[in-house]
């Protein structure tokens, strides 16, 4: 606690701002999937770097929280490292890269592979909170569409995918229906992660800084990915397993290894991957596999 | 009444961490409706406000949130204490309130419900209770509840629970309820369905 940055309130935001955001969070939990407007503040990082998520985290975090921050599943990328350091400095909290240890997880574009548990809170950074925005640019209209359950346009968009590509080609930010009512943007997570949102025991909070919206999915809440009877929702699959840990059930990133077409597929969730490798190292010494050179699945 | 600031109970000992802890308790209770959460702080409040009621207002009310008090709570130093610590406007009628504070009531009439386009503008109703326990007087289900849970709330009668059930029917509009016993709290957001289990509900 001794190296907390002086001159700022605990967790950077002033108490008045925190109260306003806390009230918005409580209403967001009470109306699952509905986007609550809030008076977003300027944060010391640019829009698009998680200003919404960081304001939600700053309002929720307490001194005894253990914080994990991931960016595309990784704990060691610029965005994750700087947000983790921000809260280590302004709130003096303990940080971790281990999903199981964290009480509060801020994420950009992934849900950890490990199933989250009761008492954990996951905060998503959201660039565009309005799932209907690509069909209807006017906020006044999209509010009415949500109020009147006028969601036909969203199904038309998915149907157009089928007409053009023969399948629903939307692969990230795949729209969901929350508790049978509101259609919600799950933030740009891959649709691979959508099923994890359904009935998750942890509380899910979403913060959009530029658009100034907060929304939430309470624990144990139905989250359905939109689909059609004859074109059911499905997630991405790979022919490969992770080149480092051999996982066949995790979301894989393609990594270019040289300039001659060499590539490997590795777990996007770095904690999941290193945990599996540590476990197999224990079991059989060096558990690392050589990179494979194969065609991409998609 | 005129009260000197030095006569007013002190509120939170550590405003920043106590407000956060109180908010987290309310957030947990709102996320898992019907679950009873202990008040994690000690707080000095004026009678007849109970500690949990006072803590919730200190944590969440401010100059942006008009507060309505039922007549039996608007006594002693309560109004002066709220004005001093929260700076919140105190309003005389139910529809104006963002936070409404009441002792056990028979109805939820008149509180702001929000609108279809802005359901977040609905009031939060804090019901101050003598006691609160899990039990089977009412069965709860809905988002945040893995398997059905139950509550036993002495002091709340069948007409209150009917009002809660009717409130759920208004979704996405409707008030959100915080049940505040002196040292613990539970929430009934508008998503929570209430089922009668005891014969008193059919009266």
| Contact check, Cβ <8 Å, B30/A29 | yes
**Residue B103 placed within a domain:** yes
Chain B environment of A201 (Cβ under 8 Å): 146
Residue of B27, B143, B177 to mutate when probing chain A, most A C-beta within 10 A: B143
**Residue B201 placed within a domain:** no
CB A58 within 8 A of CB A83: no
Contacts 24+ apart (CB under 8 A), A252-256: A253/A72, A253/A73, A254/A296
Interchain contact B119–A (C-beta under 8 A): yes
| Contact check, Cβ <8 Å, B172/A26 | no
Residues of A classed as catalytic = 33, 242, 245, 267, 273
Strand segments (E) across A148-274: 176-178, 182-184, 203-208, 213-217, 223-225, 252-256, 263-267
**Residue B202 placed within a domain:** no
| Contact check, Cβ <8 Å, B16/A30 | no
Could you say which of B16, B27, B64 has the minimum Cβ distance to residue A10?
B16
| Contact check, Cβ <8 Å, A179/B20 | no
pLDDT cut 70: percent of chain A above it? 94
Instruction: Read off the pLDDT of residues B83-137 as tens digits, 9 standing for 90 and up.
Output: 999 999 999 999 999 999 999 999 999 999 999 999 999 999 999 999 998 888 8
**Residue B121 placed within a domain:** yes
Could you say which of A63, A181, A219 has the minimum Cβ distance to residue B31?
A219
Residue keyed to tokens 């359950």:
A149
**Residue B88 placed within a domain:** yes
Give the model's pLDDT for residue B203. 42
| Contact check, Cβ <8 Å, A31/B118 | no
Q: Domains in chain B: how many in total?
A: 1
CATH code: domain of residue B125: 3.40.50.11310
Dihedral angle sign, alpha carbons of residues A168, A173, A178, A181: negative
Give the model's pLDDT for residue A282. 81
Instruction: Read off the pLDDT of residues A107-145 as tens digits, 9 standing for 90 and up.
Output: 999 999 999 999 999 999 999 999 999 999 999 999 999
DSSP state of A288: P
Chain B environment of A218 (Cβ under 8 Å): 30-32, 143-144, 191
Kindly report the pTM of this predicted structure. 0.94
Residue of B64, B86, B120, B178 to mutate when probing chain A, most A C-beta within 10 A: B120
How large is the average pLDDT for residues A229-243? 93
Which residues on adjacent β-strands are paired with residue B152? B133
Dist. CA A88–CA A11, nearest whole Å: 9
Alpha-helix runs per DSSP H in A61-129:
78-91
**A15-30 and B51-60 helices cross at what angle (nearest 10)?**
110
**Residue B196 placed within a domain:** no
pLDDT band at A23 (very low <50, low <70, confident <90, very high): very high
Instruction: Read off the pLDDT of residues B23-61 as tens digits, 9 standing for 90 and up.
Output: 999 999 999 999 999 999 999 999 999 999 999 999 999
Alpha-helix runs per DSSP H in B139-200:
158-169
CB B65 within 8 A of CB B98: yes
| Contact check, Cβ <8 Å, B59/A22 | yes
How large is the average pLDDT for residues B154-176? 94
Answer with the residue of higher pLDDT: A230 or A2: A230
* Residue-number span of the structural domain to which B138 is assigned: 2-190
Closest chain B residue by Cα to residue A120 = B28
How large is the average pLDDT for residues A260-266? 94
Interchain contact B171–A (C-beta under 8 A): yes
**Nearest CA-CA distance, residue B56 and chain A, Å:** 11
Chain A environment of B124 (Cβ under 8 Å): 26
Chain B environment of A149 (Cβ under 8 Å): none
| Contact check, Cβ <8 Å, A219/B27 | no
**Residue B33 placed within a domain:** yes
**Residue B49 placed within a domain:** yes
């Amino acid at each position: 606690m001794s190296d907390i940055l002086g001159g700022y309130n605990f967790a950077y935001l002033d108490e008045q701002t925190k109260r306003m955001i806390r009230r918005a969070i409580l209403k967001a939990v009470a109306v699952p999937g509905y986007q609550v407007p809030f008076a977003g503040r300027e944060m010391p990082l640019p829009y698009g770097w998680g200003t919404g998520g960081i304001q939600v985290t700053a309002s929720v975090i307490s001194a005894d929280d253990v914080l994990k921050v991931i960016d595309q599943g990784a704990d060691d990328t610029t965005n994750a490292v700087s947000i983790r350091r921000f809260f280590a400095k302004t709130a003096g909290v303990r940080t971790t890269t281990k999903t199981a240890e964290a009480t509060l997880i801020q994420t950009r574009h992934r849900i950890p592979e490990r199933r989250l548990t009761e008492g954990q809170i996951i905060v998503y950074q959201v660039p565009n909170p309005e799932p209907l925005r690509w069909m209807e640019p006017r906020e006044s209209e999209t509010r009415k569409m949500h109020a009147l359950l006028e969601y036909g346009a969203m199904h038309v968009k998915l149907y157009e995918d089928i007409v053009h590509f023969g399948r629903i080609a939307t692969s990230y930010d795949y729209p969901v229906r929350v508790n049978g009512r509101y259609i919600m943007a799950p933030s740009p997570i891959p649709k691979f992660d959508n099923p994890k949102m359904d009935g998750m025991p942890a509380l899910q909070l979403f913060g959009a800084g530029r658009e100034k919206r907060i929304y939430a999915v309470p624990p144990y809440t139905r989250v359905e990915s939109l689909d059609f009877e004859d074109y059911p929702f499905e997630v991405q699959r790979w022919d490969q397993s992770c080149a480092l840990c051999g996982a066949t059930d995790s979301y894989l990133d393609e990594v270019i290894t040289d300039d001659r077409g060499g590539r490997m597929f590795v777990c996007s969730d770095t904690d999941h991957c290193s945990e599996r490798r540590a476990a197999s190292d224990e079991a059989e010494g060096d558990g690392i596999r050589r990179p494979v050179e194969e065609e991409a699945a998609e | 009444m005129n009260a000197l600031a030095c006569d007013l109970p002190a509120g939170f000992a550590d405003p920043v961490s106590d407000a956060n802890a109180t908010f987290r308790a309310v957030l947990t209770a709102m996320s898992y409706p019907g679950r009873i959460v202990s008040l994690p702080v000690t707080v000095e409040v004026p009678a007849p406000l109970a500690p949990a009621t006072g803590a919730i207002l200190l944590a969440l009310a401010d100059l942006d949130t008009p507060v309505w008090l039922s007549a039996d709570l608007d006594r002693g130093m309560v109004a002066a204490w709220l004005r001093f610590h929260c700076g919140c406007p105190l309003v005389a009628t139910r529809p104006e309130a963002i936070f409404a504070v009441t002792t056990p009531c028979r109805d939820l009439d008149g509180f702001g419900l929000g609108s279809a386009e802005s359901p977040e503008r609905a009031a939060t109703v804090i019901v101050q209770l003598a006691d609160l326990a899990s039990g089977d007087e009412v069965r709860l289900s809905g988002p945040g509840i893995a398997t059905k849970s139950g509550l036993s709330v002495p002091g709340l009668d069948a007409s209150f629970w009917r009002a809660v059930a009717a409130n759920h029917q208004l979704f996405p509009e409707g008030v959100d309820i915080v049940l505040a016993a002196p040292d613990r709290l539970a929430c009934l957001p508008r998503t929570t369905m209430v089922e009668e289990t005891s014969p008193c509900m059919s009266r």
